[in-house]
Amino acid sequence: MDLKIAARMIAALAIGAAMIAAVVALREVGSEDTAPTSRLRDPGGEPANTELVRCRDLGMAAADDATCKEVWAEHRRRFLETRRERSHP
């Protein structure tokens, strides 16, 4: 292989790597947490949703929290109920 061709290939690879690094760096700057924190912290709606968020924020400690266990059980029941069960109170 000719030395000039090898040098050109290395230069092209270096320019390509620099461009990719620049794009990645620019994406990281623009992709900071853009979701409104109020929406994540206070979902609104039913009180159960607020409790679910609280349990999510507790992390592993939520597994021992009695309130979280109750909220999860109610959420599962509501999520898994069938249409027929909803129409008949």
Enter the DSSP assignment of 35: S
pLDDT digits (tens, 9 = 90+) for 1-46: 789 999 999 999 999 999 999 998 888 765 555 555 555 555 555 6
pLDDT digits (tens, 9 = 90+) for 49-58: 888 888 989 8
Query: How many CA atoms lie less than 13 Å away from 30 in the CB half-sphere?
Result: 6
Please give the single-letter amino acid code of residue 56.
Answer: R
Q: Is 31 helix (H, G, I), strand (E, B) or coil?
A: coil
51 and 68 Cβ atoms separated by less than 8 Å: yes
CA-wise closest residue to 48 among 65, 63, 70, 64:
70
